[in-house]
Every structure is written in C-alpha cells, then in structure tokens.
Amino acid sequence: MGRILNAAGHTMAGLAARGCADAPLCFVDYKDKDGGVHPNISHYPVIALKAKNSNQIKKIRDEAKDKSIAFTDFTDTMTLGSTADQLSATAATGAEDINYLGLCLFGKTDDLKALTGKLSLYK
C-alpha cells in the first residue's frame, strides 16, 4: 500500500506542477461553518483505478502519449535511494524494462474512459 500511495502522490504532484494547456487544473478552497479553510482541493474528480500489472499501465501511458493526453508516471526505479540514485537507475533502464507503479492522467472524460475503461475502481 505504501508504494501505491507514494506513486499516487508523486504523479499527482507532477501533474499539478506541469499544468495543462487544454483544460487548466482548478483548485478550490473549501470553507467550513467555523471559518476554517481547507485549501487547494481539486475541482476535478480524482478517480483511483487499479491496473493488473505494469504492462497494462505502460499500454495506457503509451496511448495517452500518442493522443497528447497529459500524464505523469512513476516507476520502481524512482523508489531507490536518493534522487541521484533514482535518476541513474532510470537512465540505465531500457523502455521495455521499465516497471510502472503508477500513472496519472488529466483530460476530457470521454478520452480518459476510452483509455481506462478496462481498469477496475481501486477499493
């Protein structure tokens, strides 16, 4: 579970940092009855889906890239030691040997459903 949460956090942060020209990310501050602020909650839904394996994630990633759908991914080489270690391990790994742990997509609902329709809701 820790690796999944780590991958989700990194991919969401990466996507937020990237921004999206087609449909800008939108964040809302929620205010409670007592005046407390719950800042920067995504206006758009975040739906967590579960892939069967790395190959399924890679296929969706490649399709998203081909269709110019905004994405960030997270691989097992990004979990090793320092950032320098992670960069080195990723650079030493061929595209076919990358083990994907997570993928974050941002786009139009119909475009995303076409890519992710075979995935199940993560529970």
Q: Are 101 and 77 in contact (CB under 8 A)?
A: no
How confident is the model at residue 21, as a pLDDT? 61
Does the pLDDT value for residue 7 go beyond 80?
yes
Alpha carbon distance 117, 63 (integer Å): 13
Does the pLDDT value for residue 8 go beyond 70?
yes
Question: Which residue, chain included where needed, has tokens 């579960």?
Answer: 50
Alpha carbon distance 112, 117 (integer Å): 8
Neighbours of 113 (CB within 10 A): 9
The tens digit of pLDDT for each residue in 32-90 reads: 999 999 998 888 888 889 999 999 999 999 999 999 999 999 999 999 999 999 999 99
The tens digit of pLDDT for each residue in 103-112 reads: 999 888 999 9
The tens digit of pLDDT for each residue in 22-47 reads: 667 788 999 999 999 999 888 888 88
Q: What is the pTM of this model?
A: 0.83
Closest CA to 80 of 64, 91, 96, 69: 91
| Res. 20 pLDDT band, cuts 50 70 90 | low
Compute φ and ψ for 43, nearest 5 degrees. -65, -35
Q: Which amino acid is at 20?
A: C
Tell me the CATH number of domain 2-121, given options 3.40.50.300, 3.40.50.620, 1.10.760.10, 3.40.1490.10.
3.40.1490.10
End-to-end CA distance of the chain: give it in Å, rounded.
Answer: 12
